[in-house]
Structure 1
Amino acid sequence: MGFIIKLLLTGLAAVLASYILPGVHIDSFLTALILALVLALLNTFVKPILVILTIPVTIVTLGLFLLVINALIILLADYLIAGFDVSGFITALLFGIVMAIISAILDFIF
């Protein structure tokens, strides 16, 4: 049950972040739920591989390269989902940061 609530909160965070950022477009809340599921799967399977492959760069940048990896995951989700559009890399980077902040606030509230 906790996973479903987390998906709903992540979908809500994605919709709110798309309202805040002008370069992000989500067609509907169903698309946001699909986005939350795809991001969960990509973060489970693809992100650890990217983190392991980029350990030296992550160490040199004191962990800031993880934001780049997060933006790449969001751009990959943009490629996979039809109703989700991100205009570019910087927008994906900002979307990841804003979505993480909104998701943390929603987790704190609920």
Structure 2
Amino acid sequence: MRIVTWLITNAIALAVATWLVDGIFFDGATSGMAEIKEKILPLLLVAFVLGIVSVFVKPIVKLLTLPFILLTLGLLLLVINAAMLGLTAWILPSDVGFHVDGFWAALLGGIVISIMNWFLDLAWPDARD
């Protein structure tokens, strides 16, 4: 059950990021029920891959860049979040239709996803345990 709630919270955070940040988007319809039907499975797939990347790759990157994280007083963590989002878009095949256009979109998207995950953790505390 924890995996399902984890996947749903990641998908919600990713959906909000695609809604708020212009450079993060899915191919396909842009409004109505057609958009929801067309994008729900790719959204769940991207949320799953982003979660896997965050679990396996992100700790290694954090460990390797720890001196720079300390030197920048933690601001490098924003760049690492952006890199994980960009890596997710790069890993997925093009037929999924997920795109991140550049560093600034990834940076803003990483911030939005982090804030949304924090908010969802407060609202739904057992989702990440």
Give TM-score scaled by structure 1 length. 0.90
Deviation at 1:40, TM superposition (A): 1.3
| 1:95 correspondence with 2:114 | no
Distance in 1 separating the partners of 2:74 and 2:43 = 28
Say which of 36, 39, 53 aligns to 2:50. 39
Map of 1:5 onto structure 2 = 5
Greater gyration radius: 2
Number of the residue aligned with 1:79 = 90
Aligned 8 A contact 2:7 2:48 in 1: yes
Counting aligned pairs with the same residue, the percent is: 40
By how many angstroms is 1:60 displaced?
0.4
Count how many residue pairs are aligned between Structure 1 and Structure 2. 110
Say whether residues 1:64 and 2:75 are aligned partners: yes
Q: Give the equivalent residue in structure 2 for 1:30.
A: 41
SS at structure 2 position matched to 1:25 = strand
1:13 deviates by 1.8
Distance apart, 1:49 and its partner CA: 1.2
Deviations 1:33-59 (A, max 9, x none): 111111111111111111111111111
Where do 5+ consecutive residues of structure 2 fail to align? 28-38, 125-129
Unpaired runs of at least 5, structure 1: none
**3-state SS of the aligned residue for 1:63?**
coil
Which position in structure 2 is the counterpart of 1:55? 66
Q: Is the 8 A contact 2:16 2:112 kept in 1?
A: no
Question: CA, structure 1 residues 26+53, in 2 after alignment: closer, same or farther (shift >3 Å)?
Answer: same
Task: Quote how far apart the aligned CAs of 1:109 are.
Answer: 3.1
Deviating 4+ runs (over 4 angstroms) = none
